[in-house]
Copies of this chain bind each other. A is one copy, B any other.
Amino acid sequence: MTKNKEFSEWYLKILEDAEIIDSRYPVKGMPVYRRWGLFMIREIQRCLEKMLENAGHEPTLFPLLIPDNILRKETKHIAGFEDEVFWVTNAGDNRLDRKLALRPTSETSIYEMFRIWIRSHGDLPLKVHQSCAVYRYETKHTRPLIRGREFLWNEGHSAHRDMEDAKRNIEEIKEIYGRLISDILCIPFIVDRRPEWDRFPGAEDTFAFDTLMPNGKTLQIATVHNLAQNFSRVFGIRFENESGNHEYVYQTSYGPSFGRLLAAIISIHGDERGLILPPRVAPLQVIIVPIVFKEFEKKEILKYAEDVKERLMLFGIRTEIDESEEHPGAKYYHWEMKGIPVRIEIGPRDLKDKKITVVRRDTGKRFEIGLENVEKEIKRILDEISDNLRETAEKKFKERFFRVEKLEDIKGYVGKGIIITGWCGKKECAERIEEYADILSVNDREGICSVCGNPGKEIRVAKTY
């Protein structure tokens, strides 16, 4: 199956073949996460949590359920989520006095506690994060890992004494997300400042991390919001400053979707043979395939393979030996589909020459390395694979930006990538543009409106998921 031509079919097939998720669970938009997918999601989570905690975030876990009246406190917020909220109305035989929402996001539940926790300037900044599932009754067509009704993410929330400190946090989070997405997951992205009508409900500003899928649609993988004092005023989150006055805090909130990050990994790096996993999050980084021609060699070859495995494991490299009864060819096929970055083949000649044969999943290159320093060599190869995946993806990404001057020319590039053009700021011109594709961002740079020709700002436009 050609990945780029039949992307949608390719994507669904690989989710099933590699046992990432199982979509046959009988609630729409709620799949079962299986070993291969769950490991990667948990590994992405661990990497992110570590970075956030190093930056002073406290790990927390808030309840799933949010009382009706609390979810409704910020009017724009509830207006934005109202249609998507799952409501618990009954328990056992009882109708609840107050209905409870499954969290669609946790601003309201967390800020209810921020009001209690924050007393003085000494309590600020307060930064917390949680990894959890959120629930949204999507009415659009659901798509596994991309648009579901239960999705896994990490959400961060902060409170600051002034706007300046809130903005400093936004920059720090952008940097952390950038490191996660590019350094660790090897996914290219742009940060788009969303137009006003596409901001998070209740936010004063929304920055989105967008990447580009093989079908030319952008995928929003993380967002960062400046909430200003919108929530603190309605939740009454105040602190006493040095002069003894009480002020409302400034807040920010942010989150990446683990499912969408995984969808991007699968879609951007994968090929006709299946997954190609970024080494840092691959459930297995090395698979060892013993090549046994004659039965009497078997024990010695397996012993040799065990030694290599043990050395790699001690060095922190996730390694397994495939000792099954399959043909080596079938094993290669299987583990390539699963996306393991490095395959090591060990046959009688390797044993004799004290070497191993290495095959890279990303380039398909096959070469031999000596046993001396094998762990460092494999580590170096894994790093090279990361770099290669990142560079290859970056290159393809950059090739799919198109600069367009006139509205009628936009059409030709829709679905091919990201279109850079101009917009004057008037609503009617935006509507004309959005007949073709969505406005991803309104940039600081000047631009000429592609509709009316008046001066305005540069914008980015694309078909989006």
Contacts and interface: CB of A to CB of B under 8 A. Distances in A.
B89 A87 contact: yes
Given A35-B58, A39-B59, A89-B90, 13 more contacts: A24-B116, A25-B63, A26-B70, A30-B63, A30-B64, A31-B63, A33-B61, A35-B60, A38-B59, A64-B64, A64-B135, A85-B92, A87-B90
**Closest 7 A/B residue pairs (Cβ):** A91-B137, A30-B63, A33-B61, A83-B92, A87-B90, A89-B89, A86-B91
A135 B92 CA distance: 12
Interface in A100-148: 100, 102, 109, 112-113, 116, 133, 135, 137, 139
A328 to B, nearest CB: 22
Contacts of A195: none
A77 B300 CA distance: 53
A372 interface: no
Nearest to A113: B32
Interface string A47-64: 000000000001111111
A32 B62 contact: yes
Interface of A: 22, 24-27, 30-35, 38-39, 58-67, 70, 82-94, 99-100, 102, 109, 112-113, 116, 133, 135, 137, 139, 150, 152
Contacts of A112: 25-26
A150 B59 contact: no
Contacts of A32: 60-63, 113
Given A60-B35, A65-B27, A92 B84 contact: yes
Nearest to A63: B30
Most B-side CB within 10 Å, residue of A30, A39, A91, A93: A91
Contacts of A88: 86-89, 102
Nearest to A83: B92
B85 A91 contact: yes
B30 A65 contact: yes
Contacts of A25: 62-63, 109, 112-113
Nearest to A70: B26
B89 A27 contact: no
Contacts of A22: 113, 116
29 contacts: A24-B113, A24-B116, A25-B62, A25-B109, A25-B113, A27-B66, A27-B67, A30-B63, A31-B63, A32-B60, A33-B60, A35-B59, A35-B60, A39-B59, A64-B64, A64-B102, A64-B135, A82-B93, A83-B92, A85-B92, A86-B88, A86-B91, A86-B100, A87-B89, A87-B90, A88-B89, A89-B89, A90-B99, A91-B137
Nearest to A137: B91
A150 B92 contact: no
A38 B60 contact: yes
B82 A87 contact: no
Contacts of A38: 59-61
Given A63-B150, A137-B91, A27 B58 contact: no
Contacts of A33: 60-62
Contacts of A91: 84-87, 137
Contacts of A113: 22, 24-25, 32
Contacts of A85: 91-92
A65 B102 CA distance: 11
Given A25-B113, A112-B25, A133 B64 contact: yes
Nearest to A117: B22
Contact of A100 (B24, B27, B100, B152): B27
Nearest to A99: B90
A102 B150 CA distance: 12
Contacts of A90: 86-87, 89, 99
Contacts of A93: 82-83
A290 B67 CA distance: 47
Contacts of A63: 25, 27, 30-32, 150
Nearest to A148: B63
Q: Which of A83, A86, A152 has its CB near the most chain B CB atoms (within 10 A)?
A: A86
A70 B25 CA distance: 11
A100 B70 CA distance: 23
A100 B100 CA distance: 14
